[in-house]
Structure 1
Amino acid sequence: MGLTTARLRNRYRRLRLGRRGLSPLARANLAALDGLDRRAPLDECSFVVLDLETTGVDLARDGVVSAGAVRLRGGRVLLGQYFDEMILPQGEVPASSITIHGLTPQRLAAGRPLAQVFDDLAGFIGADIVVAHNAGFDLHFIDRHMRAHHGLALQNLALCTLRLCRALLLPSDPFGVGRHKGQCRLDAIAERFGLDTPQRHTAIGDALVTALIFQRMLAMMEERGQARLGRLIALGQAPR
């Protein structure tokens, strides 16, 4: 889609929403694209890398049980700036999902309602660029909340490390055979970069390992002379 198209859509939303009584969060989020410059060096950009743990992979039926995010700026993961929240279940938590993320209904009872957590997550993101692995999945839940409670999808530019993996790490696949696709699983990329994954399948743990992977991808682009925001968008913009 590119930054220009994203801005045009954002402009259309501003015109459509007009002077409606938007929430402060929605008004702030409408300006998320304003400060971006596609010519900007990547070490001058600020990113929030996030992950959601869910009760399954059915976008229509499953819910979110935890959210994690870390900030990356100047090529550094800012370990002191993180978001880590459990969410009260919106329905049944299947045993099959508990075996993956380890969050039982008893543990989740200490969480907060999804609307509160997602509002705070949007506040934590601010105007930063959002990054996630298979980002379209996580953004679906965030956008659904934003539309329901604030009248618009999250306006932030979003990048997908799965797409970046295919662009930066995989051999050329001109015939679309896809035989290297498994190399872009999160575990496979972490192994490629020699990264440990001690908190795998927790939201904050997966957000952190995704941030470390993304950090190394940015370094690769720097080595290749591609370290500009416009090039990063071209390689890894998330589908919306």
Structure 2
Amino acid sequence: MLTALRRAWLRRQLSDPSYAFLFDQESDELVSFDCETTSLNVKKAEILSIGAVKIRNNRILTSESFYVIVKPEGIMEASNVKIHGLRPKDVSNGIPVAEAIKQLLDFIGARPLVGYYLEYDIKVINKFLKPMIGIGLPNKAIEVSGIYYDQEIKTKRDGYVDLRMASIIETLQLPDLPRHDALNDAINVALMYLMLQARADKR
């Protein structure tokens, strides 16, 4: 009930009616998405790239993926390049953040979002989105680390669950695509989600 009320409130706050499709009926499809940014501090962070992939009928639709490089407004620090591999000359040909977010919204529609520490990615997107359309993303959010924790904690006597992505991937015995690439991370998360769903079905 609270979710329905919040969605109704957000719809009233929407300043651009062309984005009313974000409130369409939820699809059976999901979208796994990830952002690469210049900082883990949401207030300072600029988006460098966004990757997303659809999940349908327990299949990852890599043929229906989304990836954009974004041109940041500020100057990139060398330490950032070591993490995500995007150099200043790579992002210099990127698109403006507003255009990147418009394209992302067209891709995700009203589909629920899947992510790893998704709250951060949503907050970064919302920082730029709210001035554009008056609201943040209204989509349902599914956090894979939370699903993993709930499954693993039942088997841990010491109450500790390692939630690093590398550890989750190793435990689930999944292939590990090169990380800190927005699209690869989105695919990694989609794989994690499907494996966690399969484990839950077996229990």
TM-score of Structure 1 vs Structure 2, range by shorter chain: over 0.9
Where does residue 14 of structure 1 map in the other structure?
11
SS at match of 1:169: helix
Find the partner of 2:75 among 85, 92, 96. Answer: 92
Q: Does 1:28 find its partner at 2:28?
A: no
Q: CA deviation at 1:15?
A: 4.1
> How far off is 1:121 after superposition?
0.6
Counterpart for residue 201 of structure 2: 222
How many percent identity over aligned positions? 27
Aligned residue type for 1:139: I
Q: Which amino acid aligns with 1:191?
A: E
Query: How far apart, in 1, do the equivalents of 2:178 and 2:68 lie?
Result: 15
Q: Displacement of 1:178 after TM fit?
A: 5.7
Task: Find the counterpart in structure 2 of residue 200 from structure 1.
Answer: 179
Report how far residue 146 of structure 1 moved: 2.1
C-alpha distance in 1 between matches for 2:60 and 2:122: 21
Structure 1 contact 48–71 (Cα < 8 Å) conserved? yes
2:166 to 187, 192, 208: 187
Residue type at the aligned position of 1:206:
D
Aligned to 1:140: 123
Give ranges in structure 2 of 5+ residues lacking alignment: none
Q: 1:74 aligns with which of 57, 73, 95?
A: 57
1:8–1:184: structure 2 CA closer, same or farther, 3 Å change rule?
Answer: same
CA displacement, residues 60-82 of structure 1 (integer Å, 9 cap, x when unaligned): 11211000001101111111110
Residues 150-189 of structure 1 deviation map (CA, whole Å, 9 limit, x = unaligned)? 0111111111111111112234679xx7632xx2111111
* Contact kept? 1:89, 1:105, Cα under 8 Å: no
Q: What displacement does 1:206 show?
A: 0.6
For the pair 1:210 / 2:189, whether they are aligned, the reply is yes
Q: How does 1:52-67 map to 2 (within 5 A)?
A: 52-67=35-50
Structure 1 segments of 4+ aligned residues over 4 angstroms from their partners: none
TM-score (norm 2): 0.92
Q: 1:16 to 1:64 in 2, by over 3 A?
A: closer
- Secondary structure at 2:142's aligned position in 1? strand
Question: 2: CA distance between counterparts of 1:106 and 1:97?
Answer: 13
Report the Cα offset of residue 197 of structure 1. 2.2
Q: Tell me which amino acid in the other structure corresponds to 2:63.
A: G
Q: TM-score, normalised by structure 1?
A: 0.79
Deviations 1:29-50 (A, max 9, x none): 1x24x347xxxxxxxx311000
When the two chains are superposed, the root-mean-square deviation of aligned CA atoms in Å is: 1.9
Amino acid of the structure 1 residue aligned with 2:16: L
